[in-house]
Structure 1
Amino acid sequence: MKIKQAEFVISAVKPDQFPEDALPEIALAGRSNVGKSSLINRMIERRNLARTSSQPGKTQQLNYYRINDMLYFVDFPGYGYAKVSKAQRAKWGEIIESYIREREPLKLLIQIVDIRFPPTEDDCLMYDWLKHHDIPVCVVVTKCDKIPKGKWDKHIRIAKETLQADPSDQFVLFSSEKGIGREELWEVIQRAIAG
């Protein structure tokens, strides 16, 4: 996918702030510090359009990025971060839940897990919830440059087993550092948009 244009549009905190131009939306979810912003930046080949932070829990809204005037990436707040108050987490949970269940332009949810660790309880809850609501999901197993190539298959198998993944769901191995998986993920996204 050749990126001609990519821009940050809005940090939305309620539905009436969501864009109304009906472009397809690809949402990204994962625990805090799993590398969502880095993945977005690699996908659009921009160094820091999506702000990365060493401080987990930084994304506190739904951040919209318009790509080539043909789709949006929607970056969710990271889940499972302990330093955020329960009330704040509950508020995020509500906005994300209503977005996922009611948002017409949502075509695919990319759930990001770190290859170095088995998916967490929060990862499993998110995956189960998406499956329960029939949301199309692609699991991106990121940071693959951090472990030897010979161990990739084993770690992907652990991720699939831990999530009890539906065999029809796609898993994409990814490295924001090296660009591994970028083209494959764009193909998954384009198929989801085409329906």
Structure 2
Amino acid sequence: MVLLHLPRSHISLFTHFTLFSKPKLPTNRNPILTSRLFSSPKSTLSVSEPIPVSPLPESHTETLEEFHTQLEIPIEKLFVPPETELSYTESGALSTRILKGSNILLSKYARDAQVTRAEFVKSSVRTEDCPANGLPEFALVGRSNVGKSSLLNSLVRRKKLALTSKKPGKTQCINHFRINDSWYLVDLPGYGYAAAPQELRTDWVKFTKDYFLNRSTLVSVFLLIDASIPAKKIDLEYASWLGQNQIPMTLIFTKCDKRKKKRHGGKRAEENVNDFQELIRGFFQTTPPWIMTSSFTNQGRDEMLLHMAQLRNYWLKH
């Protein structure tokens, strides 16, 4: 595999967040761990309380009951942040908290996760035009109709911070949103929208990839995947490109409250999540972190913020 030349910061982050050694499984413990989508083990870690989740709409309660199933996660497929140790109860159960609806262990760096202020800063068409104050940032990218703007609005509890559109492909720049005056959420152009002019699509790909490879303050790319449908080839190719180029990545599965009709695959969201991970397994030495989300119900919002917090605080320390 040929890897492009990367800035030192990316190589360092890749070492910390992707090439960490797999946790060793004690011989007297069950190798299968369970993470519930809407409940999780209690944690003894001292972390900031997550933002309260809005009440679930009554009309959607029955639809979501089918997601109260268990996800079985082999211990070797957990994402263990740096400086995080697995701890167990006397009965052999894992006591280290797993963020619900994910494979991510909660670390001591998961603090200051609340969003108290969010504001749009600027749009850029070149990496060198992006804000230069050195604040850490997380980039959101995905297919044009994956629900990226809705998810960004859900994260900050603002309906119109990022404008949503019924016409895919509207985002054409690198859009920076400053959070709590201390870090950035970055909205990148969607990919795979066939109706966009070919020349414009080419430009998007060019400056987006340049941003990934040369943005020294990029902590992680959050690659959004529609979990309501089977894996798309273009999403698999995007994930493999990020893996081959050693770009730190978290998979964010969107629309987990939906289930398509049988003619679209008819699978539950967690089945599509598992299928996607199996298809990309060969691109990564260890399993990337992933989170299941829904902008409609706010599922996964707190988990994304806690995950960002622990990556961000570790990045700032090192």
Equivalence map 1:36-55=2 (5 Å)? 36-55=148-167
Residue 188 of structure 2 corresponds to which residue in structure 1? 76
TM-score, normalised by the number of residues in structure 1: 0.94
Matched residue of 2:268: which SS?
Answer: helix
The structure where strand makes up a greater share of residues is 1
Residue 160 of structure 1 corresponds to which residue in structure 2? 277
Correspondence for 1:98 among 210, 220, 234: 210
Contact 1:123 1:163 in 2 (8 A): no
The aligned amino acid for 2:299 is I
Residue 188 of structure 1 corresponds to which residue in structure 2? 307
Equivalence map 1:116-131=2 (5 Å)? 116-131=228-243
Q: Cα offset for 1:172?
A: 0.3
Matched residue of 2:305: which SS?
Answer: helix
Residue 173 of structure 1 corresponds to which residue in structure 2? 292
Matched residue of 1:146: which SS?
Answer: coil
What per-residue deviation string (whole Å, max 9, x for no partner) do you get for residues 11-39 of structure 1? Answer: 11123320011100100110001011011
Q: Percent identity?
A: 36
The aligned amino acid for 2:180 is N
CA distance in 2, matches of 1:63, 1:99: 12
Describe the shift of the 1:152–1:33 C-alpha distance in structure 2 as closer, same or farther (beyond 3 A).
closer
Residue 61 of structure 1 corresponds to which residue in structure 2? 173
CA distance in 1, matches of 2:287, 2:230: 20
The aligned amino acid for 1:104 is S
Q: Cα offset for 1:93?
A: 1.0
Q: Cα offset for 1:137?
A: 0.6
Matched residue of 1:48: which SS?
Answer: coil
Residue 87 of structure 1 corresponds to which residue in structure 2? 199
Count of aligned pairs between the two proteins: 194
CA distance in 2, matches of 1:15, 1:6: 22
Contact 1:9 1:66 in 2 (8 A): yes
Q: Cα offset for 1:163?
A: 3.0
Q: Cα offset for 1:109?
A: 0.3
CA distance in 2, matches of 1:77, 1:28: 9
Contact 1:25 1:74 in 2 (8 A): yes
Contact 2:228 2:268 in 1 (8 A): no
**What 5-or-longer segments of structure 2 have no aligned partner?**
1-112, 261-266
The structure where helix makes up a greater share of residues is 1
Q: Cα offset for 1:168?
A: 2.5
Contact 1:119 1:163 in 2 (8 A): no
Q: Which has the larger radius of gyration?
A: 2
Q: Cα offset for 1:117?
A: 1.3
CA distance in 1, matches of 2:184, 2:303: 18
Alignment RMSD (CA, Å): 1.6
The aligned amino acid for 1:156 is V
The aligned amino acid for 1:102 is N
Residue 14 of structure 1 corresponds to which residue in structure 2? 126
CA distance in 2, matches of 1:91, 1:155: 31
CA distance in 2, matches of 1:103, 1:40: 20
CA distance in 1, matches of 2:195, 2:150: 22
What per-residue deviation string (whole Å, max 9, x for no partner) do you get for residues 44-97 of structure 1? Answer: 111110010000000001111111011111111110000112211111111011
**What 5-or-longer segments of structure 1 have no aligned partner?**
none
The aligned amino acid for 1:15 is T
CA distance in 1, matches of 2:269, 2:167: 28
Runs of 4+ in 1 over 4 A off after TM superposition: none
